[in-house]
Each structure stands twice: as structure tokens, then as C-alpha cells.
Amino acid sequence: KQEVTQIPAALSVPEGENLVLNCSFTDSAIYNLQWFRQDPGKGLTSLLLIQSSQREQTSGRLNASLDKSSGRSTLYIAASQPGDSATYLCAVRSYSGAGSYQLTFGKGTKLSVIP
Amino acid sequence: NAGVTQTPKFRVLKTGQSMTLLCAQDMNHEYMYWYRQDPGMGLRLIHYSVGEGTTAKGEVPDGYNVSRLKKQNFLLGLESAAPSQTSVYFCASSLSVSNQPQHFGDGTRLSIL
């Protein structure tokens, strides 16, 4: 069974700092990996999707990398801002049988960017 | 630009009552999903649908039923609510099952007393 771990569970940084969030997964047979952002009381917003054949994806100040063989992904946030404060979730998509591809989520990293 | 809309946003039920959560998407997505999010557990898949008229069980389907009578709507039903079903429920949809991102609604906060 796929398991996804995110470390640390919480992170507090001063504004302007570059930071890295980590995600690891136990089964390397994945189709893709998706990073989400969740604001308090809100749903999930998709940030980046990396296919299993890709090494990284970039969107603005965000860069996500994928090392499928080692079961790891990182989300790099450059020049952090208070508006980046949220919980960041990592999810991997794996084949679960009968034509189904399911997402397995980590528990998230709660980021606080201090002005 | 609605995306995925969930109704209601909040609900309080008594044990044994029934209710239906509605999810609607306007992106013409084929695939739809229901998750629950509990503290310390992460999101877990309840049921999903790969197209109109089809549904399948996810990781935690017990106590829930679903229906997909129209492509744009995915309903989650609780026949006899239990306190263990107190959670935040999220609906999501995607264009394909394997290589497109899932888009989420804002959630329904359900409390069972």
C-alpha cells in the first residue's frame, strides 16, 4: 500500500527566505505527483503536477522536483511572502487495479511566513 | 468560473439522520471523486466515478452511497449518520484518470451529534 510522508509537519520562516518542503513515498511505481495548497477552511488548490517521466516543474516562484527511483519530491518556494502561508499537501497517483488510478495524500506541511 | 461547487457548506445532523451532499462541476470532466479529511489522517477516498452512471468504492466506502446520474453531478449520501462520519468532505473532478490534475471544491463541514 502506498504511503506518503511529509516532513516537517510545520514550518515557520521569515519573509523573503527561500524554503524547501519535502515529500516521500514508499512505492516508486507512480504515474504522477501533485502538490496542492490548502488555506484554512478552504479546498485544495492544485499548484504543480509532475508526470513520472519528468524531473521538475516550475510555476512562478514555485519549483517542484521528482526523484521517482528514490521516492522523493521537493517543493521549492523562492522569496517567501506572508501570502504563501498555508498547508501544502503532496499526493501521488498510483494504479490501484481495475482501471483505477488513485491519489494517496500526505498529511501536509503547515507553512507560516512571518512578516 | 465556478469549477467544482459543493452544497451545503455546513451541516449538523443527529445520529441516525440521513442526508445527501451535492457536487457539481462545469468543466465537462469525466471523473469525479469524494474524499473525507480528518485531523491527523490526511485525505482519504470514499467513492469515485469514471463516468455518468458508473461508481466505484475507494478506501473508506462503508456507510456512504453515491450516484452519478448526470455527468456534471456526483452525489454522496449518508443513509444513517454516525458520529464517526463527522468530517470535512471534499469533492474533486479531473479530465482524465491518470495524467491530469484533480480540481477540488471548497468542502462541506459535517458534524454528527
Asked if residue B44 lies in contact with residue B104, where contact means CB atoms within 8 angstroms, the answer is no
Cell of A6: 511529509
Chain A residues with beta carbon closer than 8 angstroms to that of B98: 31-32, 93, 101
Check the CA dihedral A28-A31-A35-A38 and report its sign.
negative
Å between B14 CA and nearest CA of chain A: 23
Cell of B90: 471534499
Mean pLDDT along residues A110-115: 97
Per-residue pLDDT reduced to its tens digit, A39-96: 998 889 999 999 999 999 999 999 999 999 999 999 999 999 999 999 999 999 988 7
Per-residue pLDDT reduced to its tens digit, B13-35: 999 999 999 999 999 999 999 99
pLDDT above 80: residue B108: yes
Residue B58 in contact with partner chain A when CB distance is under 8 A: yes
Separation of alpha carbons A71 and A67, rounded Å: 6
Looking at A19-33, A76-90, A92-106, B65-79, which range is the least confident one? A92-106
pLDDT at B1: 61
Cell of B75: 452525489
Looking at A1-5, A85-89, A99-103, B80-84, which range is the least confident one? A99-103
- Buried residues in A74-90 as b, exposed as e (16+ CB within 10 A): bbebeebeeebbbbbbb
Å between A75 CA and nearest CA of chain B: 17
